[in-house]
Amino acid sequence: MSRKRINLGKRGEEVAAAYLRAKGYRIKARNYRQKTGEIDIICKDGDTHVFVEVKTRQHCEFGHPTEAVTRRKQMQISRTALLYLNIEELLDTPVRFDVIGVILKEWGPEISHIVGAFEAE
């Protein structure tokens, strides 16, 4: 992956984290990695643990960023979330999977937040 794409992704994750904090979510982890994959943001919305995938673009020429979360990616996030919940002994807590799309425009970011975007596999 090119340095430009990595930087774009990081900027999008920063925007998404700030957005979630402003909405009252409590960030628990960022870029959580396990052998099964990575979760961009893990946070809490009330008593619910929320696993957030962030996709960032500069435009929608190739589709909206939220459309880039494939079934394969959903499965990877689900498996990684299960590991997190198991390690943290949180298997009995409510869980949700959200997707945030960030389009970085000249006048500021455009944010799309899909709450409960998919179910665990």
Q: How far apart are CA 121 and CA 119, in angstroms?
A: 6
Q: What is the mean pLDDT of residues 21-48?
A: 97
Looking at residue 63, its pLDDT comes to 85
Looking at residue 101, its pLDDT comes to 96
Domains of the chain in start order, with CATH, are: 3-118 (3.40.1350.10)
Q: What is the mean pLDDT of residues 83-92?
A: 96
What's 93's DSSP letter?
Answer: S
Per-chain mean pLDDT for the chain: 93
Prediction pTM value: 0.93
Report the range out of 56-60, 105-109, 112-116 with the highest average pLDDT. Answer: 112-116
Beta strand ranges found along 1-121 (DSSP E): 26-34, 37-45, 48-57, 95-105, 108-118
The CB density around residue 41, as the number of other CB atoms within 10 Å, is 22
